[in-house]
Chains A and B, each alone.
Chain A
Amino acid sequence: MIRVQSLTKTYGEFTAVNDISFAVERGEIFAFLGPNGAGKTTTIKMLTTLLKPTRGAVEIDGLDPVTHPHQARRCFGIVFQDPSLDAELTAYENMELHGVLYHVPRKVRTERIEALLKLFELWERRDKYVKEFSGGMKRRLEIARGLLHTPKILFLDEPTLGLDPQSRNQLWTHVRHLNETESVTVFLTTHYMDEAERVAHRIAIIDHGRIVAQGTPTELKEQTKSESLEAAFLALTGSSIREEKSGSVDQMRQIVKMWRR
């Protein structure tokens, strides 16, 4: 379903993703783990046509996202790591807009929007502007929106960041249900090892832009002779804390925050 061959992305001198290769089979839940700045989001951006690779080949359901971006976009859905809602629209309008962009027929759209907003406990607030939402509510809406259409591949980039345990549970139950009943392939990144262990069939660990280990959770634990996945993760990536560069978007956010005061 996803095939990646010696994928590389460099920004000038800096190599964000360095010659990685992996494959995800149809109906598999694949977790991509790594410390901050390891190259997870950059990889997802290259898989989802948002960024052109410097080198290497990518296949999404047999399609190259560089040469056939439009066809490739038809097969996946994505929940982004950072916000991607329109704050000036209501929750319902955000869902509606997504449904139209993803060609969900009107009748199905209305039903599913209601079901998902109820599932994530946002139905009562469907006509409130997103700018009035708390961080957790925005996150829930973001996830509900990502699940509105049923794609062949679902990308989840740290979907549970800032979610309470209840919503987290809802999310993973729903994702597993989609995976089992509609054999949706899932590609996820997370910082929570217990989540990865619980839902993922296979895991790849990435550090400094390179894949350092790949396998089932059990295999990774055996390989590092660790008791838990967390210990295995630390054994593979070391325990030093990573520095991240802030991009222009982060700087702009800072400026906006200043103005808002």
Chain B
Amino acid sequence: MSAIYILWLRELKRYSRSRAQIIASLGQPLLYLLVLGFGLGPVFQQSGHGSYLQFVAPGVVGMSILFTSIFSGIGLLWDRQFGFLKETLVAPVPRTTVMIGRTLGGATVATIQGTLIFTVCLIAGFRPVHWASVPLAFLFMLLTAIVFGGLGTAIGSLLQDMQGFQLIMNFMVMPIFFLSGALFPLTNLPKILSAVTKIDPLSYGVDGLRGALIGISHYGLMTNLSVLSLVAILFVALGGYCFSKIQL
């Protein structure tokens, strides 16, 4: 337990000490929120879907969670490069414990980052429909963070160096984001797109957030919760397995 705690704490310390990085990571979500939010607003309004800012804000929160958690998992690569990974790999602690500590730390950081974006959304004019269901939104943030923290660790364990990073970024992280319905409603989509969004775990995270924050949900609360929990278990197990197989 203490090993999980100290590794969790390490992730938090590293996060809180990289102020420049925190500010930098706000940039992209802000663009999506403000430029798309206000730029596509009139068109969205005319088609009868209400305010696009209201619609896209949960998507942008989901996006920042996706990026933060998956990168904290892939952060394993940096530890491999700077050598700290060895220190944790030879420690008399089961490797799954090490992996869980790291992943929970990364998930906590991602949730904090999500909260930060959520606050920015509030400043930009976003208003949750029911304040009472905001805690539910945090549950979805955390679950989404664990899902992609696990996936990131799996990827980080398999990559040997930064060469594969762009590949993962362009063929995995960006598609997960764009195909999640973070930017568009999931109703009336072409068949193929609809099928693809159904296998994207982030769809359920963003949909859950939307359900909790603006009361509009495509899949329904229970589906979102159960799919996310299941995928979280699956990906953490996968990450744990890949992590325990690392050789240096």
Residues of B within 8 A of A82 (CB): 83
Shortest CB distance A127–B (Å): 13
Return chain A residues, CB-CB under 8 Å to B18: 88
Which A residue's beta carbon lies closest to that of B80? A249
Contact (Cβ within 8 A) A96 B6: yes
| Alpha-carbon distance between A68 and B114 when the two chains are bound, in angstroms | 41
Which residues from chain B contact A85 at a C-beta distance below 8 Å? 82-84, 87
Complex interface: chain B residues within 8 A of A78 (CB): 90
The CA of A9 and the CA of B5, in the complex, are separated in Å by: 36
A70-B10 contact, Cβ under 8 Å, with A52-B247, A98-B87, A249-B161: no
Report the count of interface residues on B (CB-CB < 8 A). Answer: 32
Contact partners of A97 in chain B: CB under 8 A: 6-7, 10
When distances are taken between beta carbons in the complex, the residues of chain B under 8 Å from A89 are 10, 13-14
Q: What CA separation (Å) do A5 and B74 show in the bound complex?
A: 37
- Which residues of chain B from 57 to 97 have any CB-CB distance to chain A below 8 Å in the complex? 79-94
Whether the Cβ atoms of B248 and A51 lie closer than 8 Å is yes
Interchain CA distance A97-B8 in the complex, whole Å: 11
Q: Nearest chain-A residue to B93 (Cβ)?
A: A101
* Any A CB within 8 A of the CB of B162: yes
In Å, the complex CA distance between A248 and B7 comes to 26
> Residue among A101, A102, A251, A256 with the most chain B CB within 10 A?
A101
A252 located at the interface, meaning its Cβ lies under 8 Å from any Cβ of chain B in the complex: yes
CA distance A45 to B82 in the complex (A): 17
Q: Known: A89-B10, A96-B6, A252-B162. Is A84-B84 also a contact (CB below 8 A)?
A: yes
Interface centre among A78, A88, A251 (most CB of B within 10 A): A88
Q: Which of B7, B93, B162 contacts A255 (CB 8 A)?
A: B162
Across the interface, B89 reaches (CB within 8 A) one of A50, A102, A248, A253, namely A50
Instruction: Determine whether the beta carbon of B90 is less than 8 Å from that of A248.
Output: no
Identify the interface centre among B3, B7, B81: most chain A CB within 10 Å of its CB.
B81
Q: How many angstroms from the CA of A102 to the CA of B90 in the assembled complex? A: 10
Contact with A along B30-65 (1 / 0, CB 8 A): 000000000000000000000000000000000000
**Docked CA distance A111–B185 (Å):** 60
Give the complex CA separation of A102 and B88 in angstroms: 10
What residue in chain A is nearest B85 (Cβ atoms)?
A: A84
B2 at the interface (CB under 8 A from A): yes
Report chain B residues within 8 Å CB of A88. 13-14, 17-18
Q: Contact residues of A with B, CB < 8 Å?
A: 45, 48-52, 70, 73-74, 76, 78, 80, 82-89, 93, 96-98, 100-103, 248-249, 251-253, 255-256
User: Can you give 19 A-B contacts (C-beta < 8 A)?
Assistant: A45-B248, A48-B90, A51-B248, A70-B92, A78-B90, A80-B86, A84-B83, A84-B85, A85-B82, A86-B10, A86-B14, A87-B82, A89-B13, A89-B14, A100-B6, A101-B6, A102-B91, A249-B161, A251-B161
- Contacts A52-B247, A84-B86, A252-B162 given; 10 further ones with Cβ under 8 A? A50-B86, A50-B89, A84-B87, A88-B13, A96-B6, A97-B7, A100-B5, A101-B3, A102-B91, A252-B81
